[in-house]
């Protein structure tokens, strides 16, 4: 294959750039916590898009810091634009953990974090410490939430620090409703979200 060499003249003769495809992931909305009891993303409210526009949505939660020690970061869905957050869910959870000094590590199925056709808030990241340097971060995917035919699957991968441990949480499940999910709310299992950011993105088909 011949090596093509360019100089200033060849570059200066370019009159237009080619069209590059837009990114598949589109930022929709960012919410920032400040001693917040809840953070909610409601379709059609405050520029939030959470409908059939995208087949996949992902929430990125970044440096979530609880006001209360050992609190879990949780979510629930709504089928009535946020009037109620009580969608029926089934889920499964496990985590891998490691102590800072290397004395403990392992992988554990967390049956206590599962829901079995429960309507309560689902844990996304459990037991986050409230020390100054403790926090939780991760990704939360929801697939085709606007479907009126299928259940809505979700996947979570999060990382948290709590005291002398680092813990990687994995949660999978589905919202067992054929109604469209049009709002998602986040909160701590106890106390406020002291600080942190949640970003919502839509992912295109191609």
Q: How confident is the model at residue 149, as a pLDDT? A: 98
Q: Which residues pair with 167 in a beta bridge?
A: 97, 160
Q: How confident is the model at residue 195, as a pLDDT? A: 98
Q: How confident is the model at residue 11, as a pLDDT? A: 47
pTM (predicted TM-score): 0.86
Q: How far is the CA of 83 from the CAs of 4, 109, 119, in angstroms? A: 62, 34, 14
Residue given tokens 């837009």 in the structure block: 22
Mean pLDDT by 10 residues, the chain (206 residues): 53 50 82 98 98 97 96 97 98 93 92 92 91 94 98 96 87 97 98 98 88
- Could you give the CA distance from residue 34 to residue 80 in angstroms, rounded to a whole number? 26
Q: How confident is the model at residue 161, as a pLDDT? A: 85
Q: How confident is the model at residue 8, as a pLDDT? A: 53
In DSSP notation, the chain reads -PPP---HHHHHT---PPPPPPPSEEEEEEEEEEEES-EEEETTSTT---STT-SEEEEEEEEEEESSTTEEEEEEEESSTTS-----EEEEEEEEEEETTSS-EEEEE-GGG--EEE-SPEEEEEEE--STT--EEEEEEEE-TT-SSS-EEEEEEEEEEETTEEEEEEEEEEE--SSPP-EEEEEESSS-EEEEEEEEEEE---
């Amino acid at each position: 294959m011949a090596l093509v060499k360019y100089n200033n003249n060849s570059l200066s003769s370019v009159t237009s750039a080619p069209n590059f495809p837009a990114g598949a992931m589109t930022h929709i909305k960012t919410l920032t916590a400040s001693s917040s009891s809840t953070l909610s993303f409601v379709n059609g409210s405050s520029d939030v898009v959470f409908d059939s526009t995208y087949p996949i949505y992902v929430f990125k939660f970044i440096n979530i810091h609880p006001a209360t020690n050992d609190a879990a970061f949780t979510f629930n869905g709504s089928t009535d634009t946020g009037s109620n957050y009580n969608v029926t869910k089934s889920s499964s959870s496990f985590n891998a953990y490691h102590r800072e000094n290397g004395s403990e590590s392992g992988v554990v199925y967390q049956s206590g974090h599962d829901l079995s056709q429960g309507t309560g808030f689902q844990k996304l990241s459990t037991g986050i410490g409230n020390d100054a340097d403790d926090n939780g971060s991760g990704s939360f995917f929801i697939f085709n939430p606007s479907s009126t035919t299928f259940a809505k699957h979700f996947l979570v991968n999060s990382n948290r620090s709590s005291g002398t441990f680092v813990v990687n949480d994995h949660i999978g499940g589905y919202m067992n409703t054929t109604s469209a999910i049009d709002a998602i709310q986040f909160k701590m299992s106890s106390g406020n979200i002291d600080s942190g950011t949640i970003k919502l993105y839509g992912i295109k088909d191609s």
